[in-house]
């Protein structure tokens, strides 16, 4: 079975670059090595998104109702 490459968005790359910049042990990497780490992190974001969408495809209406109920009970993720 062939492995499908994941689609890495620009936002995935931005988030990954922020992570790489924040991690002290990675500050000594060359630009090329840092970009390899960035792309690896971004690919993990994209793969997680793809897996989440694959799981959600199989959900029924009751599953979605439960998720919405939990989301309402949890409140906003970002307070401001």
Would 80 be classed as within a structural domain? Answer: no
Would 3 be classed as within a structural domain? Answer: no
Would 1 be classed as within a structural domain? Answer: no
pTM recorded for the entire structure: 0.68
Per-residue pLDDT band at 45 (split at 50, 70, 90): very high
Would 79 be classed as within a structural domain? Answer: no
The stretch 10-36 carries a mean pLDDT of 91
Would 59 be classed as within a structural domain? Answer: yes
Q: Cα(57)–Cα(2) distance, rounded to whole angstroms? A: 21
Per-residue pLDDT band at 80 (split at 50, 70, 90): very low
Q: How far is CA 40 from the centre of its chain?
A: 11
Per-residue pLDDT band at 5 (split at 50, 70, 90): confident
Specify the number of domains making up the chain. Answer: 1
Per-residue pLDDT band at 47 (split at 50, 70, 90): very high
Would 5 be classed as within a structural domain? Answer: no
Would 2 be classed as within a structural domain? Answer: no
Which domain range does residue 20 map to?
10-72
Would 38 be classed as within a structural domain? Answer: yes
């Amino acid at each position: 079975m062939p492995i499908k490459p994941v689609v890495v968005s620009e936002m995935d790359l931005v988030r990954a670059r922020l992570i790489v910049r924040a991690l002290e042990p990675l500050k000594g990497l060359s630009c090329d090595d840092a970009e390899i780490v960035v792309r690896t992190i971004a690919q993990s974001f994209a793969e997680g998104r793809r897996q989440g969408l694959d799981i959600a495809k199989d959900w029924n209406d009751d599953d979605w109702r439960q998720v919405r109920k939990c989301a309402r009970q949890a409140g906003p993720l970002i307070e401001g």
